[in-house]
């Protein structure tokens, strides 16, 4: 629908010129006409698009809105390009103009999608101007997941990981070169206490492979933290160990590498299960750039010495006491913190190759609690003139995962739920649901089938339940809801695909090309119109970075397809209705598969 809407916008602009010549325009009428006057219809009965500017123009032109609407409609009907696309405009209510795409155009679009692997979604075109400046003008960096070394991934990492992955997939599909960065916490003071504890408790780990597993490291972290808080001697040793590590002392580096390696191994198991692809570039990567960051900020007179610490005071940033709150860039002991590392990361990511990534869009996917941190860091980067005017840099925040009681999701003992346990339980519950359904239906399936379906449904349910929510909001986690075959769930979408695969297994040829296809039933036209909205939805998500828009579209598509499937015969229909309806089944399956793959959600043909 993107190309159609663009052509309609052009026809509408031509109509405006006829209805309201430039010499008769005021600044206000011009601003009204320059706005978005063609919008998708609010209800199917209103057609495909609506024009609502007549109401806004009425006061300025001192004419009834319906008269203005009639003038616009009359001019549209005289426009040859408009006439080829649309049925005659219909004026409704106080002055709305409803537009319906004609059947010829709709069928032509369906023909096109039958032979288009991208299903009508255009590939983004980029100019070559920036290449000469050493920048890759279609490169996007998405910073997501970001667990901490020596800690297990928990449910809090779920949202960042799958939201970031879905955005990466969608932007890649649009034509961007996406660098997926895992900014793991692999540096800092906590490693001093961990390395000290390792050296004292399991010194053999420094010389023997695979002595320590991640579960041990988690316990080590807790033990080390307890000792650090309670033992002054251990605390002093830990601080010296940080200095040793930063100085590149060999044994300390070996211990640090061991901690990182063991953690990565466990992280990768989770990423493999979720089908997540990431490039690890932890905090340690930027360590060598921190001094340059300090020097650059000093040279630009942005740093203020506050009790020995190098700080920046930003307008509007105050503490609870109402006093200006500094953002510390370098601590009084010479150490650095998260803000310094994030500033170094921004500078490097925006610097042209070979000294940086040369990206023109940076996206940070973290919980909403970090909004003020990133707001401050972004402001500092702007003050330092590190962000070119043509670059976008944005924080993509998300809310909490809550239990059904509306409180933060935790175990019964009050601990944070491990992500691996969450995935295991989803798969186990999907397995139990499947076995119960097979028993009810008296179906016999082998263990391989049961394993594949339960794993696919469990993972799909977890991902979709999260992505289908507006990421900005908190959402309540419920296995019963997410695994249901009814409602806005992954199993509901998967079931629509299973139905289409069943049509194919029962003799329906879904490999329909540009044969003679005809449509007469309202269920067919409703399905066609929904199928043709895919390109608009992808464009929305590309701009707004809200995956739930795509989820909502796929759910509505599944609903409309199921009504079509239930109310219109397909395999028993006579020609050309049979082939025409098989064509719609084929495009529906392709659209659902594409949409779910862009969300990182696996699909099935039997369940």
Residue 468 has pLDDT above 90, yes or no: yes
Residue 63 has pLDDT above 60, yes or no: yes
- Residue 494: in which H helix or E strand, if any? helix 490-505
Q: Report DSSP letters for 584-600, one per residue.
A: HHHHHHHHHHHHHHHTT
Please tell me whether residues 140 and 254 are part of one structural domain: no
Q: Which residue has the tokens 């464009």?
A: 539
> Is there a contact between 259 and 161 (Cβ–Cβ < 8 Å)?
no
Residue 23 has pLDDT above 80, yes or no: no
Residue 18 has pLDDT above 90, yes or no: no
> 367: which DSSP letter?
E
Please tell me whether residues 166 and 180 are part of one structural domain: yes
204 pLDDT tier (thresholds 50, 70, 90): confident
Please tell me whether residues 335 and 406 are part of one structural domain: no
Structural domain count, the chain: 5
Residue 29 confidence (pLDDT): 56
**pLDDT tens string 87-105:** 999 999 888 999 999 999 9
Please tell me whether residues 146 and 247 are part of one structural domain: no
> Looking at per-residue confidence, does 83 or 141 come out higher?
141
Please tell me whether residues 431 and 462 are part of one structural domain: yes
Residue 471 has pLDDT above 70, yes or no: yes
> Is there a contact between 584 and 528 (Cβ–Cβ < 8 Å)?
yes
Final residue of a domain: which of 232, 267, 302?
267
Residue 304 confidence (pLDDT): 93
Q: How far is CA 509 from the centre of its chain?
A: 35
Please give the average per-residue pLDDT across 151-156, as a whole number.
Answer: 85
Please give the average per-residue pLDDT across 255-270, as a whole number.
Answer: 90
Please tell me whether residues 337 and 238 are part of one structural domain: no
Residue 228 has pLDDT above 80, yes or no: yes
- Please provide the average confidence, as pLDDT, over all residues in the chain: 90
Residue 287 has pLDDT above 70, yes or no: yes
Structure tokens at 218: 């988690």
Please give the average per-residue pLDDT across 195-208, as a whole number.
Answer: 86
Please give the average per-residue pLDDT across 515-525, as a whole number.
Answer: 91
How many H-runs (helices) and E-runs (strands) does the chain carry? Answer: 22, 14
Core vs surface per residue 472-508: b (16+ CB within 10 A) or e: eeebbbebeebbbeeebbbbbbbbbbebbbebbeeeb
Final residue of a domain: which of 478, 512, 537?
478
Phi, psi (degrees; rounded to nearest 5) at 275: 60, 55
**What is the length of the chain?**
607
Final residue of a domain: which of 344, 376, 398?
398
Please give the average per-residue pLDDT across 563-591, as a whole number.
Answer: 95
Please tell me the distance from the alpha carbon of residue 119 to that of residue 108, in angstroms, as a whole number: 13
Please tell me whether residues 178 and 302 are part of one structural domain: yes
Residue 332 has pLDDT above 90, yes or no: no
Residue 448 confidence (pLDDT): 95
Please give the average per-residue pLDDT across 452-474, as a whole number.
Answer: 96
CB-based burial label for 102 (10 Å; 0-12, 13-18, 19+) = middle
Q: Which residues pair with 510 in a beta bridge?
A: none
Question: Which residues, at least 6 apart from 210, have a Cβ–Cβ distance to it below 8 Å?
Answer: none
Please tell me the distance from the alpha carbon of residue 8 to that of residue 86, in angstroms, as a whole number: 9
Residue 31 confidence (pLDDT): 58
CATH of residue 69's domain is: 3.30.1360.70
Please tell me whether residues 343 and 388 are part of one structural domain: yes
Residue 128 has pLDDT above 70, yes or no: no
CATH of residue 144's domain is: 3.40.50.620
1 pLDDT tier (thresholds 50, 70, 90): confident
278 inside domain = no
21 pLDDT tier (thresholds 50, 70, 90): low
**Phi-psi region at 351: left, alpha or beta (left = phi > 0; alpha = psi -120 to 50):** beta
Residue 350 confidence (pLDDT): 96
> 128: which DSSP letter?
S
277 inside domain = no
208 pLDDT tier (thresholds 50, 70, 90): confident
- For helices 577-598 and 155-174, the axis angle rounded to 10 degrees is 120
516 inside domain = yes
Please tell me whether residues 330 and 367 are part of one structural domain: yes
Domain region containing 469: 399-478
Please give the average per-residue pLDDT across 579-596, as a whole number.
Answer: 96
Share of the chain above pLDDT 90, in %: 65
Please tell me whether residues 527 and 563 are part of one structural domain: yes
> Looking at per-residue confidence, does 499 or 206 come out higher?
499
Structure tokens at 195: 């390395």
Structure tokens at 350: 């925006």
Residue 441 has pLDDT above 80, yes or no: yes
Please tell me whether residues 382 and 349 are part of one structural domain: yes
CB atoms near residue 573 (< 10 Å): 15
274 inside domain = no
Structure tokens at 302: 């942005």
Lowest mean pLDDT segment, chosen from 258-262, 560-564, 577-581:
258-262
């Amino acid at each position: 629908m993107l190309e159609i809407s663009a052509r309609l916008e052009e026809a509408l602009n031509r109509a405006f010129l006829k209805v309201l010549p430039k010499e008769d325009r005021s600044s206000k009428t011009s601003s009204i006409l320059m706005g978005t006057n063609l919008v998708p219809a609010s209800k199917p009965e209103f057609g495909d698009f609506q024009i609502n500017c007549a109401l806004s123009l009425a006061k300025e032109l001192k004419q009834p809105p319906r008269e203005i609407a009639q003038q616009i409609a009359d001019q549209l009907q005289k426009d040859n390009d408009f006439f080829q696309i649309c049925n005659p405009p219909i004026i409704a209510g106080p002055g709305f103009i409803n537009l319906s795409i004609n059947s010829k155009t709709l069928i032509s679009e369906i023909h096109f999608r039958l032979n288009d692997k991208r299903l009508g979604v255009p590939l983004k075109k980029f100019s070559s101007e920036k290449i000469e400046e050493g920048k890759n003008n279609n490169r996007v960096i998405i910073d997501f997941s970001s667990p901490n070394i020596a800690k297990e991934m928990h449910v809090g990492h779920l949202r960042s990981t799958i939201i970031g992955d879905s955005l990466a997939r969608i932007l890649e599909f649009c034509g961007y070169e996406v660098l997926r960065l895992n900014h793991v916490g692999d540096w800092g003071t906590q490693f001093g206490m961990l390395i000290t504890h390792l050296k004292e408790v399991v010194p053999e780990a420094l010389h023997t492979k695979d002595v320590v597993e991640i579960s041990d490291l988690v316990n080590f972290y807790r033990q080390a933290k307890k000792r650090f808080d309670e033992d002054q001697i251990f605390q002093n040793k830990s601080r010296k160990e940080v200095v040793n590590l930063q100085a590149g002392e060999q044994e300390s580096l070996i211990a640090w590498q061991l901690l990182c390696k063991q953690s990565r191994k466990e992280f990768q198991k989770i990423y493999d299960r979720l089908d997540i692809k990431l490039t690890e570039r932890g905090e340690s990567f930027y360590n060598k750039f921190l001094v340059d960051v300090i020097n650059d900020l000093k040279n630009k007179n942005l740093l203020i010495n506050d009790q020995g610490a190098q700080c920046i005071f930003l307008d509007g940033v105050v503490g609870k006491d109402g006093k200006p709150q500094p953002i510390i860039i370098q601590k009084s002991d010479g150490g650095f913190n998260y803000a310094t590392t994030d500033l170094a990361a921004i500078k490097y990511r925006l610097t042209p190759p070979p000294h940086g990534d040369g990206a023109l869009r940076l996206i940070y996917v973290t919980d909403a609690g970090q909004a003020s941190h990133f707001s401050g860091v972004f402001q500092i980067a702007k003050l330092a003139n590190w962000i070119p005017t043509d670059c976008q840099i944005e924080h993509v925040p998300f809310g909490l995962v809550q239990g059904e009681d509306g409180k933060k999701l935790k175990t019964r003992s009050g601990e944070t739920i491990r992500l691996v346990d969450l995935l295991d339980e989803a798969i186990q519950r999907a397995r139990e649901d499947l076995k119960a359904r097979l028993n009810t239906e008296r179906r016999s399936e082998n263990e391989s089938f049961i394993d594949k379906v339960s794993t696919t449904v469990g993972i799909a349910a977890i991902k979709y339940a999260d992505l289908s929510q507006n990421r900005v909001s908190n959402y309540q986690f419920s296995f019963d809801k997410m695994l249901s075959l009814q409602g806005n769930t992954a199993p509901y979408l998967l079931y629509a695909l299973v139905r289409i695969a069943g049509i194919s297994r029962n003799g329906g040829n879904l490999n329909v090309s540009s044969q003679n296809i005809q449509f007469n039933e309202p269920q067919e036209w409703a399905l066609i119109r929904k199928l043709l909205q895919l390109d608009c939805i992808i464009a929305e998500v590309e701009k707004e970075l809200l995956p739930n828009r795509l989820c909502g579209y796929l759910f509505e598509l599944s609903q409309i397809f199921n009504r079509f499937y239930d109310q219109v015969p397909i395999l028993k229909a006579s020609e050309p209705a049979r082939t025409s309806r098989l064509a719609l089944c084929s495009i529906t399956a392709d659209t659902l598969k594409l949409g779910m793959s862009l969300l990182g959600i696996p699909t099935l043909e039997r369940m």
